[in-house]
Amino acid sequence: MSNGYHIVVCGSVVPDPLQTLEPIETPAGPALKNEMLLPAVLDPWAAHALYEAANLAAHAAGSKVWLVSLGARAKLRQVMMTIAQKVSFELVPIDGPASGFIDAHATAALLAEAIQSITGLDRSRLLLFGGWESASRGAGVTMQLIGERLGILDQFQGVDQLTMQPDGAFEILERIEGGRHQVSLCQGPPALFGWATGNLPEPRNNPQIGMANMRAIMPALQRAKTVAPAPDALRYRSASPPKQQRQTRIVKNLSAEEIAREIVAWIEKA
C-alpha cells in the first residue's frame, strides 16, 4: 500500500501481574486495594499489539501508529516512561479509571470517541489494534464494541499473525480451540485485530526513540481529557479472591518408581 496504514492501538494500563491483588468495596463498586500505589504495566496483549503495529508501520511506508490509552494520568505517565522507549507512536491519552470492574461498554464508548477525534486519521486506511483480552477485565469485549461504533465489519480476535499480501489484502491467523489457527483472507483496511501473543519479541529499550516520543507524550498527558465512564446499571453483589486452600499431602520419602506407580494409578482412575 503506497500511502501506508493508520494504525490505532488501544491499550490500557494494568497492575503488574506479579502484584498481590485484593478487592475492596467502594461506593462506586469493587476496586483494588491501594490501586494507585500498585506498579503498572501496559496491558500485556495490548503491548504485543503495539509492537506488531510498529513493526507493520516500519514495513509500510507512510504508516503512522497512535496509542489510545485510558488510565489515570499518573499511571499513564509512569508506564509511558518505559513503553515510549520501545517503539515510535503518538499517544492519545484519556485520564480516567482503568479498573477491571468498570463496564466494557462505557470504556468502549470513551475509546471510540477518542479515536474519532484523532486529527488526520484516515478511516479508509485504519487498522484498529488491541489485545484480544485485557489483564484486568479479561472479557475480550471492548475491541469489538469499539469496532462496531466505528463501523468496522472485518474483525479478528486472538490474532497471532498478520501478513500483508502483494495485492493489499491480509492473511490473518486467529487462535481457535485446540491450539490451532483459523486462516482468513481480508481484502484490506479498515479492519480490527485483537492480538494474542503474536510472533515478535519485546523490543529493546532505545533511549533515542524514548526522547523523541516523550517530547509529544508529556504535553499530550497534560492535555488529556478527564473522563468518567457512564454509569451502566452494572451491579456487583461480590468480588472476592478465591479462598480455597487445599490440604496438600507432601510425599517425601518414596522412590521415583513408587511415585510413578501412584501417579499412573491416579491417572488411570476414572
For another protein, the binding residues in 3-22 under the rule CB under 8 A are: 14-15, 17-21
Q: Do 80 and 21 contact (CB within 8 A), yes or no? A: no
Nearest CB to another protein, comparing residues 52 and 174: 174
Encode burial over 215-238: b for 16+ CB neighbours within 10 A, e otherwise: eebeeebeebeebebeeeeeeeee
Q: Which residue has the cell 513493526?
A: 55
3-state secondary structure of 24: strand
DSSP letter string, 123-166: GGGEEEEEESS-SSS--S-HHHHHHHHTT---EEEEEEEEEE-T
Task: For the CB of residue 220, give the shortest distance to another protein in the complex, in Å.
Answer: 28
Q: Of residues 76-105, which lie at the interface with another protein (CB under 8 A)?
A: 100-101, 103-105
Question: CB-wise, 14 or 217, nearer to another protein?
Answer: 14
260 CB-side CA count, 13 A: 3
CB of 209 to another protein, least distance (A): 22
Q: Is the peptide bond before 229 cis (omega within 30 degrees of 0)?
A: no
Using CA atoms, how far residue 174 sits from 60, 155, 197, in Å, is 22, 10, 11
Q: Which is nearer to another protein, 207 or 242 (CB)?
A: 242
CB of 234 to another protein, least distance (A): 6
**Is residue 236 a contact residue for another protein (CB under 8 A)?**
yes
* Stretch 40-79 residues interacting with another protein (CB under 8 A): 44-45
**Per CB under 8 A, 229 contacts another protein:** no
Q: Does 233 bind another protein (CB under 8 A)?
A: yes
Nearest to 38 by CA among 17, 11, 12, 24: 17
- When asked if residue 204 is in the footprint of another protein (CB under 8 A), the reply is no
Is residue 207 close enough to count as binding another protein by CB under 8 A? no
* Residue 187 engages another protein in binding (rule: CB under 8 A): yes
Q: Which of residues 110-169 bind another protein (CB under 8 A)?
A: 135-141, 144-145, 147-149, 153-158, 160
Is 171 a binder of another protein (CB under 8 A)? Answer: yes
